Each structure stands twice: as C-alpha cells, then as structure tokens.
Amino acid sequence: MHDIHVIDGGVHYARNGDVRLAYRVLGDGDTTLVWVPGWVSNVEWLVDPDLPFTPFFEQLAHRARFVAWDKRGTGQSDPVTRVPPLDERMDDLHAVMDAAGAECPALFGVSEGGPMSILFAATYPERVRSLVLYGTMPRFTPEPPDYPWGIPPDQAAAYQEEIENQWGEGALAHTFFGPIADVPGFNEMYGRMQRASASPMMALMLWKAVAKIDVRPLLQTVRTPTLVLGRRGDEVAPVEAAAAMAAAIPDAEFRELPQGPHGLFDDAMASAILDFVCGAAPEETGERVLSTVMFTDIVSSTELLSAQGDAHWRHELDAHDRLVDRLLSKYGGQRAKHTGDGVFALFDGPTKAARCGLEIVPTLAGLGIHVRVGVHIGECERRGDEWSGMAVHVGARIGGMAGADEVLASRTVRDLSAGSGLRFESLGAQHLKGLAEDTEVFRVSKPVGVPF
C-alpha cells in the first residue's frame, strides 16, 4: 500500500467586500476542482487524519487541484447574522475562485451546495469547465403532483427541533448517515464536526433557508457538461430525484453509486468524479517481549469485494490502511503485518490498544467499512519481521469472536486497564480454538462524553 501525499497550501482567505472566506487548496493537478459544500463545512476537515472523509479528499487531490471553501457563517469563514441569497453566494464563489487562481474549474456541488452550483454554471458558463452534482435536488421541499421529492413540512419541523436541541451532539446523524450513526463513537465524532462548522443559530438558519430554494426553471439553461450522482439509501436526496434532475439538464449524465447513506463519501464517488473531470485513470498495477497485540478485520469483506469490484475495493483498502496507520501512530502502536482484510498491531500497553480500537471502529464506519477488533497482552516472540507466540494466537482468536463494530479484550487487558475509565462487560468464559482452557472475554466501551 502506497500512501497518498498531496500538496497542502494551508488555509487562506478570499475577500468579497468586508466578508472573508476561508479556502484551502490540496494537490497540484492539471484540472482544478472546486468543492461547493453543503449545509455546513470546515476546511480543516480536508487534512484531519482522524476523520473518515480525509481519504476521499486526498483521492481527489491526488489527481486534481482540489479547492475547498467555507460559506460565510460556517467553518473558518467570517460569521454572519443572516443567510445570504444564492446570488450573493455566487459572488462569494467568484471571490474564492479568483483568489485561488481557478479561472475555469470543474465544480463539485454537494447537497445544499448543488442549487448554487447550478445557478453559477448557468449564469457564468465561461467560468465552469464541467459540473458534478451529488446528493442534491433543485428543490428540497415537495410540490405535488409534479415534484413528489423533498422533506414534507411535518418532517422538516422534526428536523428543526433536532437541530435546536442536539446541535453539536450529532444532530440528524441518522438522516445523513443511516445505520452508521448507530456505531459507538460516531455521533460523538459527528458532533465535534458540527461544533467546528457552525453555531447552533447559523446551522438552524441555513437549514430553514434550504426550504426556500428552487432552481428547477434553470435546469434547461445549463450548457456545461454535467454529471449527476445519486445512490439508493439517500434519505435527503432520493436517487429518483437525482435521475429526474439529470434528465432535465441538457445532455447530463446520470450515474448511480453503490447503495449507502447521504453522507457517505467513498471511493466509488471519488472515482466517478475524477473519471468525469480528469478522464479515466490507468489501472494501478528469536526475541521474546511482553506486548499488547491488537487484531482488526473487515466484516463481510468478501461480499464487499463482490459488490464493488477489484479496483474500487483496492481503493477502499488503501483508505482503510491509511486511517488505521494514522490511529496506530496516535496511540503509539506499530503495524506488524497485514492480515488480508485487517491488521495485526503491537502496543506497549493494553489501554492504548483498547482506546485505539475504540476510535478505529467509528472512524472506519464513517467510510462505510465495519470492523471487528480483538486485544490481548502476553509474551510474543519475534523472528526478523515475524511475530508468533501464544499471545498472538489468543489475540487473533478474540478478534475473530467480535461482531461488527465491536472491540473485545481478554481478562488480562481488563485487569491491567484499571483506572483507565474504559468499561469492560464480561461475556463469560469462551472456548478459543486450539486452547485447552477457556478464556474470559470482555466487550470494551467507554462512557459517552468522556474524552480519551
């Protein structure tokens, strides 16, 4: 696995009058791709090694010059007290493009950023090379009988109440991420992203403003080469609405991505975007020590490979490896080897390994990858680059017992983690293949809201 290294120019500011707009440029490809974000954003997401979206941005920046920016009132941009109309937001995009030297880039409009991207492409066709739209619609509220899609008033009221009461705690996580939101630790991670992206007031104002957007009359006027992406399972922008929008834009191409929630930014999406804006890419061809071992394994990897194909699955594994390696480094772990669809890692303490496993689970879940994790401590034997011994065998067996998004550990790990704040729920004595005696196994978790 070769890590992706991209040029990062850091955070800069464009000016539109008195308003400063934060933007960031990753990569130096021949094609410039400007991201028009959805509801809220923060340009720091692009380079945060602990977030599941980072591999997606890195993949785009590996082949393109990727420009991301925060709308006024969000992320690193200046705060505001009102939501600007779409034409003012177009001026903001103009300012960012000029400051970033993006004379005629491809635009990538996501969710709430889609309608403004459509308006910009229709108004300034000479400034847009191509247009990619994902998880978006020209109108986000239904207007029967001709337009059945969108959020009905009663559902919109429930969403607004959730934003008011749970902002910064993972508000609307189920709406945007579906079952991924049930993975332990994911809501907490998403809540941190929300707090860094907008104030509660601004988040609510932006959400209410979405209901007023309607660019359906403009679809026929778009002459820019356009790719519309949608996926089944998207509760915000149904795939049928995406297909209908593509049909209304002259000569637009519609492509259905693998099933998943609205907030899933995966290899399939990155590949579709890059193929459209850059052209198809070519196919990539005897020491004994006491140590804590950790094993991870991707659940249902064979089914995922069959569903995604070799090329996409290889990219998913690369993203998995980069995220796992970063978290191993964060907790002082060292990858000993790949185990097919997982890793075998070593730590100098059981608490560090358990905490690492608990962070790996929600981070990879955000990428649509579900793993099982096993942790044990004991004497290991090293021969060159190879590790063996009973501790390695036990750790692997415990990991194999775990379910999806679950971290299991031995009693020794529990005993040596006293005072760590971690929770250990006994699953009783378990028979591990190859061992004469049963081993007590524990499910590991941490109290909600307690930092590591």
194-244, pLDDT tens digit by residue?
999 999 999 999 999 988 899 999 999 999 999 999 999 999 999 999 999
**Average pLDDT for 425-432:** 92
Phi-psi region of 237 (alpha: psi -120 to 50; beta: other; left: phi over 0): beta
* Rg value, the chain, Cα: 24
What is the SS3 string spanning the chain?
CCCCCCCEEEEEEEEECCEEEEEEEECCCCCEEEEECCCCCCHHHHHCCCCCCHHHHHHHHHHCEEEEECCCCCCCCCCCCCCCCHHHHHHHHHHHHHHCCCCCCEEEEECCHHHHHHHHHHHCHHHCCEEEEECCCCECCCECCCECCCCCHHHHHHHHHHHHHHCCCCCCHHHHHHHHHHCCCHHHHHHHHHHHHCCHHHHHHHHHHHCCCECHHHHHHCCCCEEEEEECCCCCCCHHHHHHHHHHCCCCEEEEECCCCCCCCCHHHHHHHHHHHHCCCCCCCCEEEEEEEEEEEECCHHHHHHHHCHHHHHHHHHHHHHHHHHHHHHCCCEEEEECCCCEEEEECCHHHHHHHHHHHHHHHHCCCCCEEEEEEEEEEEEECCEEECHHHHHHHHHHHHCCCCEEEEEHHHHHHCCCCCCEEEEEEEECCCCCCCCEEEEEEECCCCCCC
Residue 442 has pLDDT above 90, yes or no: yes
**Least confident span in 54-63, 254-263, 275-284, 337-346:** 275-284
Average pLDDT over residues 42-61: 93
Residue 307 has a pLDDT of: 76
Task: Name the band, by pLDDT with cuts 50, 70 and 90, for residue 1.
Answer: very low
Segment 352-371 mean pLDDT: 94
Average pLDDT value for residue range 353-363: 96
User: Would you place residue 450 in the very low, low, confident or very high pLDDT band (cuts 50, 70, 90)?
Assistant: low
Q: Is the pLDDT of residue 182 over 60?
A: yes
Q: Which of 144-148, 243-247, 265-269, 271-275 has the lowest mean pLDDT?
A: 144-148
- pLDDT exceeds cutoff 60 at 127: yes
Give the least confident one: 119-128, 304-313, 347-356, 371-380. 304-313
C-alpha closest to that of 278 among 134, 129, 101: 129
pLDDT reading at 295 higher than 80: yes
pLDDT at 4 over 90: no
C-alpha distance from residue 75 to each of 19, 38, 51, 79 (Å)? 13, 12, 16, 9
What's the mean pLDDT when you consider all of the chain?
91
pLDDT at 294 (0 to 100): 97
Considering only 95-109, 361-375, 380-394, which range has the smallest mean pLDDT?
380-394
Round to whole Å and give the CA distance between 356 and 376: 13
Query: What dihedral do alpha carbons 103, 54, 4, 111 form, nearest 10°?
Result: -40
The answer to whether the beta carbons of residues 81 and 182 sit under 8 Å apart is no
**Which range among 68-82, 158-172, 295-309, 410-424 shows the weakest confidence by mean pLDDT?**
295-309
Whole-number percent of the chain with pLDDT over 90: 76
The per-residue pLDDT for 289 is 80
Burial-class residue 386 by CB neighbours within 10 Å (0-12, 13-18, 19+). Answer: exposed
Check pLDDT > 90 for residue 379.
no
pLDDT at 122: 94
Q: Check pLDDT > 60 for residue 281.
A: no
Q: According to the model, what pLDDT value does residue 92 have?
A: 96
Average pLDDT of the residues in 417-434: 90
- Residues 106 and 225: beta-carbon distance below 8 Å: no
Q: Which string of b and e fits 320-334 if b means at least 16 CB within 10 Å?
A: bbbbbbbbbeebebe
The arithmetic mean of pLDDT across residues 118-123, rounded, is 94
CA–CA dist 284, 317 (Å, integer): 14
pLDDT at 151 exceeding the cut of 50: yes
* 2 pLDDT above the threshold of 60: no
pTM of the full structure: 0.84
Domains of the chain and CATH, by start: 8-278 (3.40.50.1820), 287-445 (3.30.70.1230)
Instruction: Specify the range with the lowest mean pLDDT, choosing from 79-88, 134-143, 279-288, 339-348.
Output: 279-288
Q: Is the pLDDT of residue 435 over 90?
A: no
